[in-house]
Chain A
Amino acid sequence: MRNTLRLLLGALTAAALWTAPAAAQSLAPRETARILAPGQWQIGLFNPLRYGLQWVEIELHPLVFLAAPHVDVKVPLSSTHPDQWQWTAHLGVGVPTLGWRLPKPLGLAGDLVPSCKVAEVDPKAAGWCKRPGWLVVPKLGVWATREYSHDAGGDGYSTMTLRAEIASGFAVSGAEAAPLDAWGPVDVQLAPQVGRTRAQLRAAVDHRVLDGLRLRAELGGYWVSRPAGDEAVSPWTMSVYAGLDLRATAHTRLTLGAMVYDLDRRQQVLEKTAEGFDKYTYVRSHEVWPTVDFIWTY
């Protein structure tokens, strides 16, 4: 298994290095405050579609757009200068409710939230159905990026990026949904979509190693609100990401990495009391998620 991974990584690195001379530019950093140039677009298998317009960049995720219409906009707040922080506002809005009402493959009803099948055929049971009602989810954030090193002989550079963002689900109608209390990335990503407020601070370094190879690391801290009277679970989550971006062709890159979450998921462990009896105590959970994506930029 380890040898296979080594071979794969070696092949990808070789491919990145081999294709690098053919590329006009060095591989650009990802997820920074900088916006795409007008007419430029980027999309990944899992990463969202980004499109550059004059002065702004729009972002949406085609995979979930039908069931959960949404759009994000990045608006530069300062001019681009390599030696200064560039500031960008990140605004967004979404209406996720259909995604909670529709079953697979369009939605997640019956998986992450109740499907309310009984209520659909028996109106007198409707009161027992507790799935998310209609929600509007606005998002507001600020990104700041600064270059910290330049490739003297070319156009490559390394960046550090700071992000602060708050998103909240505002109920328009229907019942208040329960927190998902699922896996780390699901909870962090979808908390506002079930009516919670999520605040996040993230700091990332996107380091140019070679023209076709970048190293990316990120620290994240998240706070997700709990319903009134429900303090069983801590609202704080931490994450660490480390990964590589490898050029595949002149316009594509492969991203490989791992995300580690530290969060409270009411994990129990048994401990002995002084008297020799057992007791359950709660510890924070750790989750490791491998990440992979293939991203096109044109």
Chain B
Amino acid sequence: MKPVLLAAVTAALFACGCEPLADPQTYDREPAPIFRRSTVVAAPAVAAPARIKIVAWNIKYGAGRIPFWFDCWGDRAHMTKAEVDANMAKIYEAINELDPDVLIAEEIEVNSRRSAYVDMVQGILEHTKLNYATFASTWNSKYIASEGVGRIHLGNAILSKHKITKAERIRQIDRSDQDALTAMFYLHRALGRAEIEVATGKKVAIWAVHTEAYDNDGTKQKQIAQIDELLAKEPLPFVVGGDFNELPPVAARKQAFMDERETAVCSADFTQPPYTPEAMQRFYDKLVPAIALDRYGKTELEQKRYYSHSVLGPDEVNDNGEKGFWNRTLDYLFASKGTTWQVGSTDVAQQAGQKIGGDNGIGPVLKTDPVRLSDHAPVLGTWEVP
């Protein structure tokens, strides 16, 4: 009965010309908007093979290390404009330092009350050398009556120095373990896909990913399988990247992370379900990873170098007084077969002072400190397309 009632309410709102309460999700694959910088900056010339520097980064809607209520280490539900502006200024600085040709950004917001309604897509365009962007909306609701979250418009963006000629939003499978009302107002995962013309007549495709984090019904695994199926049909050379919310198949630690609460203090809705690292193996088998499995190593000590996520930042401590730091790998870049990653260019940008690519890497040595800018680290590499 509930879905019928919700459908009737939604239909009534449409009939009166009012804004829908939530994105009605009436699409499977649809065109996505393409935005442009107010003044276009000349894009670098691309030689053969084309070298395209790609960064994938979950920017946590410009919250930096402010603990939000679902993090379970603090109760924040909103930021002030000054807080968001200050955090975004540091993100712009980090992007400019990494200087990507393409940025895949997850958890980026364009009109959310919790991030003071800042349009982060346009903000990045105006404050970096990236000229074009597309935004695949994943959570667009007029009001979320949970902790006073309010209006939210979040999604995945692909930003590029080169022209985006086509952009799409591709719907991912929704969770099935929520009641109809919760499901209506919950985020609906979607993939972003952009076709980018890096040189005259030379197009590549970029896919932005952010799969489910808190399901208990196998939704994330289905979404990962869906991505695999979609990529198998991609006709262009491509890179897929983002926050897969899943560990690599060789992960030494799969549970009991240092920044998980030992006692429940917030909603059970935000308890981390068990990871299924084997779900990621398909990408290592079929694609070219920016960081190959053998680079991760076997022990936690070795793998720590490539961790990309932590709930706690370095200025906070867990129940045992330990400071937070990256403690698991969730973010990835994979390229299509037949293409490569430039040796020494791929890395996880974890902290200030780190040389990108390691001791023999191509750099730069980071001045910005990603561990304080988001709960995810940027992953990056220079992609070589014949």
Could you tell me which A residues sit within 8 Å of B by CB distance?
A: 110-119, 121-122, 125, 127-131, 178, 180-183, 227, 229-230, 232-233, 265-268, 270, 273, 275, 277-280, 285-288
Contact = CB atoms under 8 A, between A and B. Distances in A.
A244 to B, nearest CB: 20
Contact of B66 (A128, A285, A286): A128
B346 to A, nearest CB: 32
Contacts of B143: 181-183
Contacts of B110: 268, 280
A117 B35 contact: no
Given A122-B265, A232-B116, A288-B18, A114 B77 contact: yes
A94 B3 CA distance: 39
Interface stretch (B51-59, B68-76, B97-105): B68-76
Nearest to B69: A114
5 contacts: A182-B143, A273-B36, A277-B34, A280-B119, A280-B122
Contacts of B263: 121
A266 B153 CA distance: 11
Interface of B: 16-19, 33-36, 66-67, 69, 72-78, 80-82, 110-111, 113, 116-117, 119, 122, 142-143, 145-148, 150-151, 153, 263, 265-267
Given A125-B67, A265-B142, A114 B116 contact: no
Max count, chain B CB within 10 A of own CB: residue among A181, A227, A286: A181
B66 A275 contact: no
A178 to B, nearest CB: 5
A268 B153 contact: yes
A278 B33 contact: yes
A117 B76 contact: no
A286 B17 contact: yes
A118 B270 CA distance: 13
Contacts of A230: 80-81, 116
A178 B148 contact: yes
A265 B117 CA distance: 10
Nearest to A111: B145
A267 B34 contact: no
Contacts of A125: 67, 73-75
Contacts of A110: 146-147
Contacts of B116: 230, 232
A131 to B, nearest CB: 8
Contacts of B82: 229
Contacts of A114: 69, 75-77, 147-148
A112 B148 contact: yes
